[in-house]
Structure 1
Amino acid sequence: MENREFQYEEKIAKSLDMLLTQLGENEVIKSYKEIAQKVDQHEGLKELVESIKRHQKDAVQYAHYDKPEAEKEAIRLANTKQKEFDEHPLVIVYREKLVEANDLLQYVTHLLEKNVNDGLEEKIEHKK
């Protein structure tokens, strides 16, 4: 009996590896990975993120030292940089690709869940 369970787990592991390979070869996932890499390597976007963080930290410090005008200005600058980041063409495409990839993965997850549940229900029905 123990040997049978091991073989079953091995079969599941192989199936999972095959699924992961197929997902990695899917155009939606490939496209997402490509744009994610471009975003990650884009120096201008890295600088924007650092600038946003810097202004946010400044706002927290100004609030701590009870400097409301300086805090407001730091928040305004952070929001301006955040808007610039959000409107960057690469970020827009990245978010679109992320939604597509997420939709695909949700669909695959739903199918797996349905097939597993159907299989379990079938086993239960056979035992009755």
Structure 2
Amino acid sequence: METRDFQYEAEVQEQLDRLIEALGKNEVIEDYKQIAQQVNHHEGLKQLVESIKALQKDAVQFAHYDKPEAEREAIRLADEKQREFDEHPLVMLYREKLIEANDLLQHVTYLLEKQVNQDLEEKLEEVRKEE
């Protein structure tokens, strides 16, 4: 699949860069990045993830070798570890901050889309009047 870089007009690119920089400095985005970094560097959470992966892999192996009891036990343990991960305060805070950051970005996207559409409609109306 071929990918092409879209070349913006210089003024558009400059405004886009400013918007990206402003968003990066926004408190909501800063909070999200800080929590994400804490989650990524938390050894206990890393160990939980590795444990979940190993138990899921074990469950698949047990299923392959037709060992239903061992498979059920591995799934139960993986689910237990997954709940432990999901209920970890840092993970809960991360998800909260992710939702806030996502909401902000969706709002900015909506505002941009609304403004672009409004500008296009105005231009189209001008063209119609000229005809």
Q: For 1:102-127, what per-residue CA distance to the aligned partner results, in whole angstroms no more than 9, with x for missing partners?
A: 00000000000101111111110000
1:54 partnered with 2:54: yes
Shift of 1:91: 0.2
Shift of 1:90: 0.3
Structure with a larger share of its residues in helix: 1
Structure 1 runs of 4+ aligned residues shifted over 3 Å read none
- Partner residue in 1 for 2:127: 127
- Partner residue in 2 for 1:117: 117
Question: What is the alpha-carbon root mean square deviation over aligned residues?
Answer: 1.0
Identical counterparts, % of pairs: 69
TM-score norm. by structure 2 comes to 0.91
Kindly tell me the number of residue pairs found equivalent between the two proteins. Answer: 122
Return the letter of the residue paired with 2:29. I
Return the letter of the residue paired with 1:105. L
- Partner residue in 2 for 1:100: 100
Consecutive unaligned residues in structure 1, runs of 5 or more: 1-5
TM-score norm. by structure 1 comes to 0.93
Shift of 1:74: 0.4
Shift of 1:45: 0.2
- Partner residue in 2 for 1:3: none
Q: For 1:62-89, what per-residue CA distance to the aligned partner results, in whole angstroms no more than 9, with x for missing partners?
A: 1111110000000000000000000001
- Tell me how far apart the structure 2 counterparts of residues 41 and 94 of structure 1 sit (CA, whole Å): 13
